[in-house]
Structure 1
């Protein structure tokens, strides 16, 4: 077991329906099967993360298959690199589990974990995907033992880079997904006078070497509901005027481009 206590950092052992450490801290499993490892003193707000309404809209959008090419590519990369048997894999910022579930399907003999700060997201994920171990926790304080994971996936999620290097085994992998230059530029054209392309993420992870990078770019034709939901899922939503929302709601279809950059890093 790779989980550690968020309070004293001792190993957590599952006993009946609770995780316990030798110090005496106890974390009960919820009826959905997840565990909450986010102590109140580690919360940045009363209900951190996305709201239940936003999560339901996001699940509907993802279930429609618009981001399935990304999900499939992430799963393929992992299945090619991680051990076929007994791999330990973590999806940081897993949300309602759309990508996490495909990772588990691609690595049926692995132990896959999903972590998110939003309790509502983890509850949704755990109800649908029973074979995955989900936990409510902060990506800034990963509740995993040192050098215990074979891989971590970070799809747009915030992270603590020191924590990533702490928990990934030597030779293990970090897979990141970031926006490509042309990602959703059609939404930008509705909002801004001048469209600025996404700048490439110039990040170097201490303790990791970059070993592969790939661009995934394709066109999407969205329904009006999917277009408004997708805009809500982006930072552009804060700058969208009312007429932008009305334009999307009235559209029979909205064509836009998905553009992702997948980067694979290996722990030195």
Structure 2
């Protein structure tokens, strides 16, 4: 399934990792993952989420606050996944693997991809039955027309690259924040709070199949509220007094608001 990130030739599995016909080698880490993000494609020393962000997200997700989202996406995947033997699914921007594990069934091949080495290391240790790699959504390390489905929850990517990797009839399931997602956090941070702008994504070579909204309230402990804020882009703009307010509150109520969209790759 993997291709070389340097020359794009197929990678062959060896005992210690992978090698291509041009002798580019990629070792498998002791946790079981492979790093397919060459240094010239990284953009920074350690791209993606930090160990602190990964730990906060794992603790928050393990408490089940986003399980309704995971369940909804799993149901959509079951409904729209094309028939193939076996279906091959990639979780793009998989983080520490919380969502990825929900796509796993005995008749499926599941891969997780993230630019964060720390996230992939954590995911591979916890879910050894899934194949994880450090790679970019802009340069997927998979052969053309090889994937049955790509799940993209918030992850950046390039439409042309998604279409290249999906087989004809393969599906793309995306999750993006809808208008009122975490509105109460924004109220703590910004004086003039705006609803989240919902941009219509145009994907050439795909047909639109489904859009559904998932909206539900959360009541969080101080610890969980702090962890959630740390998971979001808002964390970089949050003043110290906001962190202190969250840390001292008995509970914090907020809204989740997600948009789930399904696309199918056309043959054209």
CA apart distance, 1:62: 0.5
Q: Provide the residue aligned with 1:73 in structure 2.
A: 72
Q: Provide the residue aligned with 2:251 in structure 1.
A: 253
CA distance in 1, matches of 2:17, 2:228: 37
Q: Provide the residue aligned with 2:15 in structure 1.
A: 16
CA distance in 1, matches of 2:263, 2:163: 11
Q: Provide the residue aligned with 2:88 in structure 1.
A: 88
Q: RMSD of the alignment, in Å?
A: 1.1
Encode CA deviations 1:126-165: one digit per residue, 9 max, x unaligned.
Answer: 0000111000111111111111101101100010111011
Residues 84, 148 of structure 2: 8 Å contact kept: no
1:41 matched to 2:35: no
CA apart distance, 1:241: 2.0
Alignment of 1:211-222 (within 5 A): 211-222=209-220
Q: Provide the residue aligned with 1:131 in structure 2.
A: 129
CA distance in 2, matches of 1:84, 1:71: 23
Q: Provide the residue aligned with 1:4 in structure 2.
A: 3
Alignment of 1:60-209 (within 5 A): 60-82=59-81, 83=83, 85-104=85-104, 107-209=105-207
CA distance in 1, matches of 2:223, 2:264: 39
The number of equivalent residue pairs is: 265
CA apart distance, 1:201: 2.3
CA apart distance, 1:108: 2.6
State the secondary structure of the residue aligned to 1:98. Answer: coil
State the secondary structure of the residue aligned to 1:153. Answer: strand
TM-score by length of 2: 0.96
Flag as ranges the 4+ runs of structure 1 deviating above 4 A: none
Residue of structure 2 aligned with 1:238, choices 230, 233, 236 = 236
CA distance in 1, matches of 2:84, 2:10: 25
Encode CA deviations 1:204-252: one digit per residue, 9 max, x unaligned.
Answer: 1111111001000101111101111111111222222222111111111
Residue of structure 1 aligned with 2:208, choices 200, 207, 210 = 210
Encode CA deviations 1:37-84: one digit per residue, 9 max, x unaligned.
Answer: 111111101111111121111100110101000011111111122137
Q: Provide the residue aligned with 1:31 in structure 2.
A: 30
**Unpaired runs of 5+ in structure 2?**
none
Q: Provide the residue aligned with 2:226 in structure 1.
A: 228
Residues 147, 170 of structure 1: 8 Å contact kept: yes
TM-score by length of 1: 0.96
CA distance in 2, matches of 1:85, 1:255: 45
